[in-house]
A and B are shown apart, each in its own frame.
Chain A
Amino acid sequence: MPDITVLLPSVLQPLAGGQSYLTTPADGAVTVESLLDAVTGDYPVLARRIRDETGSLRRYVNIYVNGEEVRRLKGLDTEVAAGQEVLIIQSVAGG
């Protein structure tokens, strides 16, 4: 079964033991939410950087599935297919 890969921005990689990506088996219906639960389960600090304690995606964190930002899709309920890459990228903003 092909894995799903989550690519991390360099600034978050130290929180995943230095890994640039995390993978999980595409086991059944996978959503962005269940994917994040799976890949950050061993990295609670990483998990808190991406979502707050209510489970919401932090405002300036963007997740792309198949090139589409998930807020334009179904948010954390967006489905992810086997073999797809999911990108986590911070917004470009600030001064």
Chain B
Amino acid sequence: MGFMATAESYVLAIGTKKGLWLARSTDRKEWSLSGPHFLMSEIPSIGIDTRGDNPRIMVGVRSEHWGPTVAHSDDLGATWTEPEQGAIKFPEGTDAALERIWQIYPDSASRPGVVWAGCEPISVWKSTDGGEHFELNRGLWDHPHRSEWGAGYGGAAAHSIVVNPSGENVHVAMSTGGVYRSLDGGASWEARNKGISAYFMPDPNPEFGQCVHKIAADAAVEGRLYAQNHHGVYRTDDNGENWVSIADGLPADFGFVMLTHPRREGTAWVVPIKADSERIPPDGHLAVHRTDDAGQSWKRLDVGLPDHEYNAVLRDAAAVDSAEPAGVYFGTRGGSVYASADEGESFIEVASHLPDVLCVRAAVVSTDVAAELAAAVATSGLPA
């Protein structure tokens, strides 16, 4: 697919503690911001599905009063739809109620309509209708380890879902519990945490119980994944059988973010935070770090970022887009959002003074589609 074939437009969705903001750009330099949508509800998860003719934005919404729900928009946020019975609902007999949607993950283009969700209480869900109805993954829910999985500070979350191209291998990461792997598309699961430290437990190398903060798959090397742990940055080259440290060269091995390049082998980004006990960027200097060699070395990237920043960047408050060169985006708990159009070499501030940023996701949409949607909204008299 040629990147220059059609004019491109960029959508950046920013989920915060008190609502959703959307930013649009045609060049990734100038951004226009709209919002808030869902004011006073937190938006901990966003998925932008660009596999169909129109992009679909799905959001996990949670009100302290009125509970969690999934909504979607097929017109870039002009209107939102919520399935009447709820997209995610624990079945009878589980005696569980949905607390929070931590992850919305559109599967590959070869499996249109398939969307995964990771939730609290710790559970994984799969939709085959574009995120309108999800089914509980029973294999993981009935796993004998489940009663021993714990809650991190933010809650007990299945927050990372990674599916390989064939769809057979699915990796899930949870806090706390660690990495679980399925080799049969999600039917059965085994813990795969060998090499990942759980220094806060009596046995620092347990089979499971690790507090893995985020995992992401290498774009080009099958079986290679990266993990940002609760202290520790790791890589596996054998589909999760063994994890090795790749933290050398980073100013700190704590953090929440793990991003990988949409196409290029060996490229990943992290945002180091000083320590478990001092959750600020090292010395108050915010920087993204990128590896281009699968973690053997890291490059500090801070051009355009503020001189000092004492807010953390949460696990899903960072994203890449699919453009060439790839865009890198992240937001802080201080409500600033930064965008890079050159893989992190330089950043601009897209937004500031928003509520705590919980999630960002970015996508490339055709400018024609964006214009058509805007025209349709104008004709219908709906607020743009």
Contact = CB atoms under 8 A, between A and B. Distances in A.
Contacts of A61: 65-66
A34 B82 CA distance: 25
B66 A54 contact: no
A91 B65 contact: yes
Interface in B62-92: 63-67, 69, 82, 84-86, 89-90
Given A52-B97, A53-B90, A58 B84 contact: no
Given A54-B96, A56-B97, A49 B66 contact: yes
Given A44-B84, A44-B85, A53-B86, A58 B67 contact: yes
Nearest to A91: B65
Given A48-B69, A90-B65, A54 B97 contact: yes
A94 B69 CA distance: 20
B43 to A, nearest CB: 16
A93 interface: yes
A49 B66 CA distance: 4
Interface in B90-110: 90, 95-98
B95 A60 contact: no
Q: Which of B66, B82, B97, B98 gathers most chain A CB within 10 Å?
A: B66
A52 B98 CA distance: 8
A75 to B, nearest CB: 16
Contacts of B86: 48, 53
Contacts of A60: 64-65
A45 interface: yes
A61 B65 CA distance: 6
Q: Which of B69, B82, B90, B97 gathers most chain A CB within 10 Å?
A: B97
A33 B354 CA distance: 39
Nearest to B88: A53
Nearest to B86: A48
Contacts of A52: 67, 97-98
Contacts of A91: 65
Given A44-B84, A45-B84, A54 B67 contact: no
Contact of A58 (B65, B82, B90, B96): B65
A56 B63 CA distance: 16
B382 to A, nearest CB: 15
Interface in A78-94: 90-91, 93-94
Interface of B: 63-67, 69, 82, 84-86, 89-90, 95-98
